Amino acid sequence: MNLPNKLTLSRILAVPVFLFFLVPGWFGQFMGLDQWGRYAAAAVFVIASITDLLDGMIARKQNSVSQMGKFLDPIADKLLVTTALTALVATDNLSVWAVVIIIAREFIVTGIRVVAAGQGVVIAAGKLGKLKTTFQTIAIVAILIRDFPVSLIFPWLPVGRICMAIAVVLTVVSGIDYVVKNAYIIKKGGS
């Protein structure tokens, strides 16, 4: 197993660690250390997100892109983000609608990519999708750390929720853009 695949696997293994720190009743919640658990969960999420950037860069630089990596990478990404969003619905009353919209887009994009792969076509991530991912990541981390340190100066400013709203808008826009640009693949796959 090459280094990029190990990084991808570490992202999958980070999911239960993330939950351990965040979910009430586990880490620290018995000792009144709830906020420290949230900080630890945020740190795990950030580190796991960085491995997502690194595994692809290393694989391309070392020319070590593998079938296992192509299989595991999207699973790791979606598992980490879906877990975080679902946990935030439970712990922070994050809008279920926001989470459903984000997850629905991921299913649609994955479906198109599967059809494209069956046709020998590789679809790279677009700029709008990358921007969506950036806002989504910032939103998740900001909500986890309860908008710290901005909350010290502007306690009324919900940075995480604002970033999540932007992420949802970008999710819809990038999803529509993705479907429109790749409609030929869907049509071709259906014939």
Closest by alpha carbon to 109, among 90, 88, 98, 123? 123
Residues 6 or more apart whose Cβ sits within 8 Å of residue 3 = 55, 58, 62, 64
**Hey, what are 126's tokens?**
């677009």
Residue 114: per-residue pLDDT = 82
CA atoms within 13 A on the CB side of 63: 0
Residues 6 or more apart whose Cβ sits within 8 Å of residue 134 = none
Residue 111: per-residue pLDDT = 87
Residue 31: per-residue pLDDT = 55
Query: Contact at 8 Å (CB) between 168 and 102?
Result: yes
Distance from chain centroid for Cα 91: 18
Residue 67: per-residue pLDDT = 74
Residues 6 or more apart whose Cβ sits within 8 Å of residue 6 = none
The total number of residues shown for the chain amounts to 191
In tens digits, the chain (191 residues) has pLDDT values of: 788 889 999 999 999 999 988 886 665 555 556 788 889 999 999 999 999 888 888 888 888 777 777 778 888 999 999 999 999 998 888 999 999 999 999 999 988 888 887 787 777 778 999 899 999 999 999 999 999 988 889 999 999 999 999 999 999 999 999 999 888 887 876 55
